[in-house]
């Protein structure tokens, strides 16, 4: 399943994302392209959403691949940190610019599981963004390439990790039916 991580910082967008994410299993591809300059409502930083995402990843049989394009900042840094594999385009950058203001408490904890504590502390205190190459050197990113190379790597991972008998495609009508059944239960 491929999910777009919302760059629109609204409760409705994140609740929709969380509903779809809770139905996923197997290989889940999260695509982050943060077009929003700033979390105007502070929704991500103040909500329990990222904690719920972390619980879903820990409780379900899934292999999470995070694809990062453009700037990934603040609380959205949680997604690459909790993913099993992180792919980034050459234009991706990462950072914690306003550490105390708009950061969810789970973000530094998740980052410390993926990166060395010294590197996480530097990101928090300095606040300067790092490019994809530096993120790879620090252990946050596993693969860097242009958009075509990243898409080819996704195809290779899906082909390698999914045997033909376990590939499952869910059509929109089936997804709506599954969501209604879950709501009624």
| pLDDT at residue number 185 | 74
More confident residue, 45 or 28: 28
| pLDDT at residue number 45 | 66
- Give CA separation, 23 vs 19, 34, 47, 56, 75, in Å: 7, 23, 21, 9, 23
Most confident range (mean pLDDT) of 13-22, 42-51, 59-68, 100-109 is 59-68
- The answer to whether the beta carbons of residues 144 and 90 sit under 8 Å apart is yes
- Say if residue 9's pLDDT is above 70: no
Q: What is the CATH number of domain 2-148+161-178?
A: 3.90.226.10
More confident residue, 47 or 85: 85
- Give CA separation, 29 vs 46, 54, 108, 109, 183, in Å: 25, 15, 22, 22, 24
How far from the centroid of its chain's Cα atoms is residue 34's Cα?
A: 11
Sheet with 85-89: list strands edge to edge. 2-4, 26-33, 62-69, 85-89, 143-145
- Three-class SS state of 140: coil
Q: Report the distance separating Cα 17 and Cα 136, nearest Å.
A: 27
Residue appearing with tokens 């995402």: 53
Task: Kindly give the residue spans of alpha helices, DSSP state H, lying in 49-185.
Answer: 49-59, 78-82, 106-114, 117-126, 132-138, 147-161, 172-184
pTM summary value = 0.79
Q: What is the pLDDT of residues 122-181, one digit of tens each?
A: 888 888 899 999 999 999 999 999 999 999 999 888 888 775 655 556 666 777 788 788
| pLDDT at residue number 170 | 62
- How confident is the model over 78-86, as a mean pLDDT? 92
CA angle in degrees (0–180, nearest 5) for 18-169-152: 90
Q: Report the distance separating Cα 136 and Cα 103, nearest Å.
A: 22
User: Taking the domains of the chain in order of start, what are their residue ranges?
Assistant: 2-148+161-178
């Amino acid at each position: 399943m491929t999910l777009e991580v919302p760059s629109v910082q609204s409760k409705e967008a994140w609740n929709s994302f969380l509903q779809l994410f809770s139905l996923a299993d197997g290989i889940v591809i999260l695509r982050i392209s943060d077009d929003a300059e700033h979390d105007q409502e502070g929704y991500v930083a103040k909500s329990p959403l990222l904690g719920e995402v972390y619980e879903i990843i820990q409780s379900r049989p899934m292999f999470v691949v995070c694809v990062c394009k453009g700037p990934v900042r603040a609380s959205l840094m949680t997604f690459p940190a909790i993913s099993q594999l992180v792919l980034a385009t050459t234009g991706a950058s990462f950072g914690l610019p306003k550490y105390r203001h708009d950061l969810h408490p789970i973000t530094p904890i998740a980052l410390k599981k993926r990166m060395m504590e010294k590197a996480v502390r530097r990101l928090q205190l300095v606040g300067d963004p790092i490019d994809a190459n530096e993120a790879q050197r620090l252990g946050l990113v596993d693969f860097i390439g242009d958009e075509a190379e990243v898409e080819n790597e996704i195809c290779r991972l899906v082909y390698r990790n999914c045997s033909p008998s376990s590939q499952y495609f869910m059509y929109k009508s089936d997804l709506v039916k599954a969501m209604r059944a879950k709501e009624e239960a």
